[in-house]
Amino acid sequence: MSINGFSFPTAIKFGAGARKEVAAHLKSKGLKRPLIVTDKALGALPVLAEFRLHLEGLDVAVFSGVFGNPTASQAMDGAAAYKAHQADCVIGFGGGAALDVAKVVGIAATHPGHILEYVWDHPQVRPISGELPYFVALPTTSGTGSEVGRSSVISEDDTHLKRIIFSPKVLAKVVFADPELTLGLPPHVTAATGMDALTHNIESYLSPAYHPLCDGIALEGTRIAARALVTAVREPGNRQARSDMMMASMMGAIAFQKDLGAVHSCAHALGAVCDLHHGLANALMIDTVLDWNYETVPEKFEELAHVCKVAGGGKAFVPWLRELKKTVGITGSLKDHGVKPEHLPRMVEIATDDICHQTNPRPCTPADFKRLFEEAM
């Protein structure tokens, strides 16, 4: 047998009210001048103002320049805000976009060059040689699980291509996972982000990479999300459902250190070409791709059906997913969400170049991606 290395990420404070412990934690580390990195919408909402009330005794500045799919320029602007405030730590507060930017603000603020020079596949990639500013994360959605990830996904401003900065140094020192921060999410955001979390768990489990630890987490994360998503959408104030979805989101992100699959390659292409929300893009593609994957790993679909309590076994899992999407309000095909036939060639190119499908259970060619996109149209 080969030797396999395993690791798990970061310290997590999980539960209602966890946000109230941030100030005491930062003060215990001798930190006084945090920069909150968040997005434009959250920056104007009461949820951020309420959180700031719990940061008494700290000199706080806010960078709320994140919007849409996170970009390199947003990271550079955040670094400028960090320097202007003479900050000594970063608080990431938001969904996946804000947290991905928050992770790399410290790199751009303390290291030379442009942030894109630190992406893993840059031809002259710069090393993250120095220590980064202390970073804590507070997720306000339950989807990407970015708060527990050791990578940041940001887009090039001109091409919209997603680029990955990967390093254990970008891990949050502590995650304050407070389900109460998600109580105000509208149903359509809850649905899209929830499908993102579910996709992470499912694709991680289906990946042929060897990682039994992540397999167990992915199956349990799938079970939890399947149980809680509909309730979270229909009953936004249901704290148990919100808690379950936040946990499933983190579990999916932990599990996908085992890697993902072709659903994500398709979603990344849809984000780059059509600027679709990542969770929505995953939701629009997942049943089409998994239906195509079924014959390669039917035994894994049996396990997924079992944990989701799907009557009819593995063959019924994809139809169950389609029904789940309808129940949470995700309907229509790609064309109903603005994708046009002329987008296909570029989408196929980006999906083919994307690294995620390298661990799809079934090998993907450009012709396969073209067919999958056409079926989802």
What is the average pLDDT across 288-294? 97
Q: Which one-letter amino acid corresponds to residue 274?
A: C
Question: To 10 degrees, the CA torsion angle through 313, 364, 256, 39?
Answer: -110
Yes or no: say if 281 and 144 are a contact pair by the CB < 8 Å rule. no
User: 156 by DSSP, 3-state: which?
Assistant: coil
Please tell me the predicted confidence (pLDDT) of residue 1.
53
Rg of the chain (C-alpha set): 20
Displacement of CA 71 from its chain's centroid (Å) = 15
Q: 116: pLDDT confidence band, cut at 50, 70 and 90?
A: very high
DSSP string covering 300-351: HHHHHHHHTT-TT-GGGHHHHHHHHHHHTT--S-TGGGT--GGGHHHHHHHH
Of the CATH numbers 3.40.50.11600, 3.40.50.1000, 3.40.50.300, 3.40.50.1970, which one belongs to the domain with range 11-182? 3.40.50.1970
CATH tag, 187-376: 1.20.1090.10
Q: What is the pLDDT of residues 166-212, one digit of tens each?
A: 999 999 999 999 999 999 899 999 999 999 999 999 999 999 999 99
Q: What is the pLDDT of residues 8-39, one digit of tens each?
A: 668 899 999 999 999 999 999 999 999 999 99
Residue extents of the structural domains in the chain = 11-182, 187-376
Q: From CA 109, how far away is CA 128, in angstroms rounded?
A: 12
Please tell me the predicted confidence (pLDDT) of residue 8.
62
Please tell me the predicted confidence (pLDDT) of residue 299.
97
Q: What is the pLDDT of residues 57-111, one digit of tens each?
A: 999 999 999 998 899 999 999 999 999 999 999 999 999 999 999 999 999 999 9
Does pLDDT of 6 surpass 80? Answer: no
Q: From CA 226, how far away is CA 317, in angstroms rounded?
A: 12
Q: What is the pLDDT of residues 255-284, one digit of tens each?
A: 988 899 999 999 999 998 998 999 999 999
pTM (predicted TM-score): 0.92
Q: What is the pLDDT of residues 201-247, one digit of tens each?
A: 999 999 999 999 999 999 999 999 999 999 999 999 999 999 999 99
**Which residue carries 């979390």 as its tokens?**
197
Please tell me the predicted confidence (pLDDT) of residue 211.
93
Does pLDDT of 291 surpass 90? Answer: yes
Please tell me the predicted confidence (pLDDT) of residue 4.
53
Give strand ranges (E) for the chain.
11-14, 34-39, 61-66, 89-94, 134-139, 151-155, 162-166, 174-177
Please tell me the predicted confidence (pLDDT) of residue 2.
55
Please tell me the predicted confidence (pLDDT) of residue 233.
97
Q: Which one-letter amino acid corresponds to residue 46?
A: P
Does pLDDT of 126 surpass 70? Answer: yes
Integer CA distances (angstroms), 190 to 19, 68, 147, 232, 247, in order? 20, 16, 17, 7, 14
Integer CA distances (angstroms), 357 to 118, 194, 287, 293, 326, in order? 23, 21, 16, 12, 26
